[in-house]
C-alpha cells in the first residue's frame, strides 16, 4: 500500500484554470450511489492541466518507467457542501491510484480520513495533493460542517509495458 502527500504541484496557470471552474461551478455528472457529491468531469486531454497530469503520472510511476506505464482513467472537480456528505462510507476506489488536490481550505470539516499505517486523517490545505493506492486504502471525506470544499480528483491505472523485439 502507498500514500504520499505533495505540496506545490499546481502551477499558477493550472490553479487559475481550476479556480475558474470553481467560480462558475456547474455539475455535469449526476451524484452516484456511494456519495452525493457534485462533480464537474473534465476531458482527459484538457491542455490547461497537461503539466500537472504529467507530474502526477511521474510521481505515481516513481523510477519504474521501463516496465510500467500509468494511464489516466478520469478527472473531475469535486464539490462537497454540508448537505452532500453526511454519511460518506469508507471505501476503496476502482482505480489503482487516486489523487486528491485540495483547491481551497476556507471551510470547516471535510478532512480526508484514511486507513493507512499511523495516518488517520489528512487535513485540507489548499494546493496539497494526496496520492493513494485507491484500490487498497480505504478512505472517505468527513462531513463538511460549514462552507464549500473543492478538490481536483484523478483516477489512474497502472499497466505493464509489453516487451517488443526489433527485427
Beta-strand (E) ranges in 62-102?
A: 68-80, 97-102
pTM of the entire structure? 0.90
> With the C-alpha atoms ordered 106, 144, 117, 76, is the resulting torsion angle positive or negative?
negative
Kindly state the percentage of the chain with pLDDT values over 70.
90
pLDDT digits (tens, 9 = 90+) for 32-60: 655 567 889 999 999 999 999 999 999 99
Q: Which residue has the higher pLDDT, 87 or 164?
A: 87
- Cell digits of residue 33: 450511489
Looking at the DSSP bridge assignments, the partners of residue 119 are 116
Which domains are assigned to the chain?
3-160 (2.60.120.620)
Q: Which residue has the cell 468531469?
A: 41
pLDDT digits (tens, 9 = 90+) for 105-145: 999 999 999 998 888 999 999 999 999 999 999 999 999 99
* Residues 108, 81: Cα–Cα separation, whole Å: 10
The model's confidence at residue 95, banded by pLDDT at 50, 70 and 90, is: very high
Q: Answer whether residue 80 shows pLDDT above 80.
A: yes
* Residues found in the chain: 167
Amino acid at each position: 500500500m502507498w500514500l504520499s502527500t505533495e505540496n506545490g504541484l499546481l502551477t499558477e496557470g493550472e490553479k487559475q484554470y481550476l479556480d475558474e471552474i470553481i467560480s462558475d461551478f456547474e455539475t455535469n455528472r449526476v451524484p452516484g450511489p456511494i456519495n452525493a457529491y457534485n462533480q464537474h468531469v473534465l476531458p482527459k486531454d484538457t491542455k490547461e492541466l497537461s503539466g500537472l497530469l504529467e507530474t502526477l503520472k511521474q510521481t505515481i510511476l516513481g523510477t519504474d518507467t521501463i516496465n510500467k506505464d500509468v494511464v489516466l482513467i478520469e478527472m473531475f472537480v469535486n464539490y462537497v457542501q454540508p448537505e452532500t456528505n453526511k454519511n460518506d462510507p469508507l471505501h476503496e476506489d476502482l482505480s489503482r491510484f487516486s489523487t486528491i488536490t485540495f483547491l481551497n481550505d476556507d471551510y470547516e470539516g471535510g478532512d480526508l480520513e484514511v486507513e493507512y499505517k499511523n495516518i488517520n486523517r489528512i487535513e485540507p490545505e489548499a494546493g496539497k495533493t494526496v496520492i493513494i493506492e485507491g484500490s487498497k486504502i480505504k478512505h472517505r471525506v468527513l462531513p463538511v460542517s460549514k462552507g464549500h470544499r473543492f478538490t481536483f480528483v484523478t483516477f489512474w491505472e497502472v499497466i505493464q509495458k509489453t516487451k517488443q523485439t526489433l527485427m
